[in-house]
Amino acid sequence: MKKTIHTNLSLAALSLASIVTFSSCKEKSNSTGWNYNDKDNGGFSLVDFKGQVTGPGLVFVEGGTFTMGRVEEDFYKDWNNVPRQVSVSSFYMDENEVTNLDYMEYLYWLDRVFDRDYYPEIYTSALPDTLVWRDELSYNEAMVENYLRYPAYRFYPVVGVSWIQAMKFCSWRTDRVNEQILINEGVFNEFPDQQDADHFNTETYLYRPGDYTQQNKKGLPDNDPNSQYGKEGRPVKRTDGILLPKYRLPTEAEWEYAAYGNSGHRVYNRTTDGNKYTWDGSSMRNPDKKHRGDMLANFKRGRGDMAGVGGWLNDQAHYTMQVKFYPPNDYGLYDMAGNVSEWVLDVYRPLSPEDVTDLNPYRGNQFTVYDDNYQDIGALEVLQEPQYNSDSDIVRLPGELPIRAVTEEENLNRRNYQKSDYRDHLDGDKQSSIYYDQDVEEGEAMMYDYAQTTLIGNTTRVYKGGSWKDRAYWLSPGTRRYLEEDQSTDDIGFRCAMDRLGFQNPSEKREKEHTAPKRDKFKRHEYN
């Protein structure tokens, strides 16, 4: 199958010109003394790299060490969040929650690219559940009918989205951003007729670039590894540093670390006065003279008090509020307290704090590989139909590469992992659930099966932060709750994150000093 590349998305223009420039210098290898970028001297290609670009909508969060977990009284007495010190690597995070407008753009793209008569489940499975606004003893029909699509709510956080739907939005966003980068770099033309399996996918492009016949204005790419990518050269590779890493949900540790915004309270290697909420101090009202007395977040003050008194609605919202309405924290992140709670990447377990690693802690790993039946990734065919899991949910879309779980047989010699699914690692179902023997008659044989009763499992996901309908207790980033990954509510939304690759400090000056080491000139050794 040959692909045609195009886009007509209204993404914000990316200032990505000259992210990577082709190195024309005759710099020599420090290992071999051979010239880089020299056809007559091996032809190994080296491009100049100026650092990872910040993707649309993201802000940089410099990683570090912090105390993760409960900071207030555990009045539920469930002991599910014991404080512990962990480290989080630097990463990027959306400055605000994904809005209705963002999600409507996603729905529009799905409807435009995938034939709804042939693939009706692709579009319908992405639709938010607008009925989450209904309540047995409250009138909310205006929100049911208007919240997602009415223009007044364009910049309000999308709700009614499950964890599964949020993850698929992140994958779509990755491809659209990388597609726009290639267009801005002059690698792709713009075409408006993407259809079904014939659309841009980052993974397919990296592993099967020959599928993209409209990769540049000259048609088929130049396979010379020494040539420059772009209008008359080879396709972009991962080694060029052009394409961005995946957008994804933040881990629980990343979300909590970013929400505290304690960057202004650090002295060398210690935190002097950590925040209780996402702002300095424990007061809920703005101390600034101009906005004194206004609430710093959208939350419920008490029973029946959702927004204050008429004539002085201190948080201005009975339900959700448009993003960026309340002040940001020290990282420049908005609504990390209040407005809507947010999905994070982790599987929920009460005792995860005692089990997870202290560097980038996370529970939920499921290791996969491309389904390379031909033992050759180049021979792998892209999907022409959706790939489903055992529950008949769409896992991969047409145009993407098929994946499968890694097997224990192919990892026998590994010491760091052997199997695919580590969601219940060190806290398996037998330890975290209640079991009882159940006799089952099958013919003359008597079988013993195990029936399980538990509120949590491997499809139970963590969500963080308080919402418009929560009391102040839940505004503390240390609190955590859980919900099944296929469920949604009127007070849970999400925002995306992205890995920071390489240098962890945001200082461009320091990054340049550390990413361009001086190389000794190749000298002939004189033997005695």
- pLDDT reported for residue 341: 97
Q: Report pLDDT for 428.
A: 56
Kindly state whether residue 130 falls inside one of the protein's structural domains.
Answer: yes
DSSP 29-82: PTTT-PBTT-GGGT----EEE--PPPPTTEEEE--EEEEES--S--TT------
Q: Which long-range contacts (CB under 8 A, 24 or more apart) does 381-384 make?
A: 381/1, 382/1, 382/197, 382/201, 382/204, 382/208, 382/211, 383/197, 384/1, 384/196, 384/197
The rounded average pLDDT for each run of 10 residues, N- to C-terminus, in the chain (528 residues) is: 46 41 60 82 79 93 89 72 90 97 97 92 96 95 96 97 97 95 82 82 85 55 60 76 95 95 65 73 72 79 81 83 92 94 95 85 92 58 86 87 90 91 77 46 43 74 95 91 95 97 75 48 39
- To the question of pTM greater than 0.95 for the whole model, the response is no
**pLDDT of amino acid 3:** 56
Please list the residues that pair with 442 across neighbouring strands. 445
Give the total number of structural domains in the chain: 1
At 448, list the tokens. 């013993």
The residue count for the chain: 528
Please check whether residue 418 lies inside any domain of the structure: no
Q: What number of CA atoms fall less than 13 Å from residue 129's CA on the CB side? A: 19
What's the pLDDT score for residue 224? Answer: 62
Of 170, 473, 157, nearest in space to 342 by CA:
157
Domain that holds residue 175: 57-184+244-364+458-515
Residue 419 lies in a domain: no
Decide if 196 is inside a domain. Answer: no
How far is residue 2's CA from residue 220's CA, in Å, rounded to a whole number? 11
Q: What is the pLDDT of residue 17?
A: 39
Which pLDDT score is estimated for 249?
98
Domain-located, residue 276:
yes
Among residues 92, 177, 205, the alpha carbon closest in space to that of 502 is found at: 92
- Report if residue 403 sits inside a domain: no
Q: Which two tokens stand for residue 162?
A: 């499950």
Q: What are phi and psi of 270, to 5 degrees?
A: -145, 155
pLDDT of residue 209: 74
CA distance 476 to 275: 9
- What's 359's domain CATH number? 3.90.1580.10
Residue 219 included in any domain: no
pLDDT at 434: 47
Locus of tokens 């023997």: 437
In a domain, 135, yes or no: yes
